[in-house]
Structure 1
Amino acid sequence: MVKKIRQEVTSMIARALFKVDMKKSIKLMFIFWVILVMYSVVIIWMFDPEFSEMLLQYQQMMPELMSAFGMEGETNSLIAFMNTYLYGFLMLIIPMIFELMLVNQCVMKYVDNGSIACILATPNSRKKIIITQMLAILISIVILISATAMAGYLSAEILFQGELDVAKYINLNISTLLLHFTISGISFFSACFFNEEKNYLAIGAGLPLAFYLIQMLSGMGDSLDKLKYFTIYTLFPADYIISGEGNVLFYNLMMLFLAALLYSLGAIRFIKKDMPI
């Protein structure tokens, strides 16, 4: 059964293109992974009571600024501390930048510079090509988030053995992964829709960044609070995971649905659209 599934998956991808895309991705991924691990270790290390108290004072002195960057919330446990100072900002913005660059080089660049003509000249169908590119993107995101989460777990165990709530940490990273599937889905759809890189950057990169700016504004005061309903980051149930309240499964399913929809619509558009070849 497993062998049959493997054969079916293999038949759906263009191996040479997949290897090229993954090679590009790994080089880019390593840079972003190092950045994320560095910040993760520093933030976990800062869970020390003295640093925690200092950060709490910053929250009290500059509540609107700290809230805008997602650095407002409970810090009484290691998982809550990580959620506030790592998953409230860095684990959102840094992987997002990686995804915007990854989709650009795996999909948009081929069309914009005309090299897609060479790829389409191979025996591979458009469907096979776009599925290959889509898998390369999704696998790369899974690796980045998973490798970062593992580094965070090891750091927490070394620095504060036994203090990390592993179940909540796993759930937090699953939701983070689904959020980034959704963000990359926006970029993927845009890359499949447009034929020029400038248009991709305006929508595929501009929209996720705009969503994050809206999220920041929504945290700066009561009058702006309703802006959070105009951004996909509202679907990220990190606070519910930490508190143990709220329907986390519902939000995860919503993000999964949006990601699947965006990737599917993007693939359909790529298969049917006219390209400058």
Structure 2
Amino acid sequence: MNIFTKEIKANSKSLVIWCIGILAMIGGGMSKFAAYSNSGESMNELLKVIPKSLLNIMGLSSFDLTKAIEFYGVLFLYLILISSIHAVILGANIIAKEENEKTAEFLFTKPISRSKVITLKLLAAFFNIFILNMVTFVLSFFIVNYFNKGDEILENIAILMVGMFIVQFLFMCIGSMLASATKKPHSAASTASGILLVTFILSMIINMNDKLENLKYITPFKYFEAESVLFGKGLNFHFILLSALIITVSLYSTYMFYKKRDLNI
């Protein structure tokens, strides 16, 4: 039984749907760029009279909407949200599915350890988020470049995709940890998604109030913001280390909890 191949096939249709969603987001979002850019500086002047808190919620805080790559920076906030939702649901479901579908008894009567099952499942989930990330990268480059006016965008988009992939992987691991730890596997995906949305809302609240800046360490959506990458700061090394720590703890917890739990057969 090739668990890895089985999981890839089982999630292939879902992956295609998520890729189509990414295409719709990038294509639909950048198609509006032409309208904004035709308005010239008038759009930027209009943004100056909008309250900063509202601009932060909308992801428009310091971007020049007459430049394609900066307009894309606005979209990136929602792309990373979409890809993270996909990752956290995938991470939870790929661990919990055997109990949810009542196939755990069949799977674990085979001569294969729980650790190996988890490893193969996580590799399949990793493959899925990697493909979604690569699709996002290719679509982003070609669509943004279509509207671009001579600016170098490949490096910026590539760095943004690296940041996005780290956040995807982080949430995938959190989802798998929750699915391994909970006694109600059918609720793991909704719980993991709830945690993700709370951290996303927290990132919006932090943007609205500078006094809450120190809370940025507990929300991954503040780790690799488009604003930092596009304005020359790149990826923050401290956030990379923090992400690696969260991923390591989540993966270790996934194995530890799942090996000790009584499966709901």
Whole-angstrom distance in 1 between the partners of 2:14 and 2:40:
33
Whole-angstrom distance in 2 between the partners of 1:254 and 1:52:
40
1:68 and 2:62 matched: no
Contact 2:174-2:192 within 8 A present in 1 as well? yes
Contact 2:159-2:229 within 8 A present in 1 as well? yes
1:156 positional shift: 2.3
Matches within 5 A, 1:75-224: 75=64, 77-83=67-73, 85-88=74-77, 90-160=78-148, 162-197=150-185, 199-201=187-189, 203-222=191-210
Aligned twin of 1:242: 230
Aligned twin of 1:28: 14
Contact 1:59-1:72 within 8 A present in 2 as well? no
The gaps in structure 2 that reach 5 residues or longer are: none
Q: Residue 23 of structure 1 aligns to which amino acid in structure 2?
A: K
**What is the TM-score when the length of structure 1 is the normalising length?**
0.83
Instruction: Compute the RMSD of aligned alpha carbons.
Output: 2.5
Whole-angstrom distance in 2 between the partners of 1:46 and 1:140:
29
1:151 positional shift: 1.0
Of 188-197 and 131-140, deviating more is 188-197
Contact 2:85-2:196 within 8 A present in 1 as well? no
Whole-angstrom distance in 2 between the partners of 1:34 and 1:160:
23
1:42 positional shift: 2.7
Aligned twin of 1:10: none
Contact 2:63-2:70 within 8 A present in 1 as well? yes
In structure 2, do the counterparts of structure 1 residues 255 and 272 end up closer, same or farther at CA, with 3 Å as the change threshold? same
Whole-angstrom distance in 2 between the partners of 1:53 and 1:31:
37
For 1:53-100, what per-residue CA distance to the aligned partner results, in whole angstroms no more than 9, with x for missing partners? 5764357425323312433222264322211x1112x11221122223
The gaps in structure 1 that reach 5 residues or longer are: 1-13
Contact 1:112-1:196 within 8 A present in 2 as well? no
Contact 2:90-2:175 within 8 A present in 1 as well? no
1:135 positional shift: 0.6
1:33 positional shift: 1.0
Whole-angstrom distance in 2 between the partners of 1:54 and 1:24:
49
Q: Residue 140 of structure 1 aligns to which amino acid in structure 2?
A: N
1:131 positional shift: 0.3
1:241 positional shift: 1.6
In structure 2, do the counterparts of structure 1 residues 230 and 127 end up closer, same or farther at CA, with 3 Å as the change threshold? closer
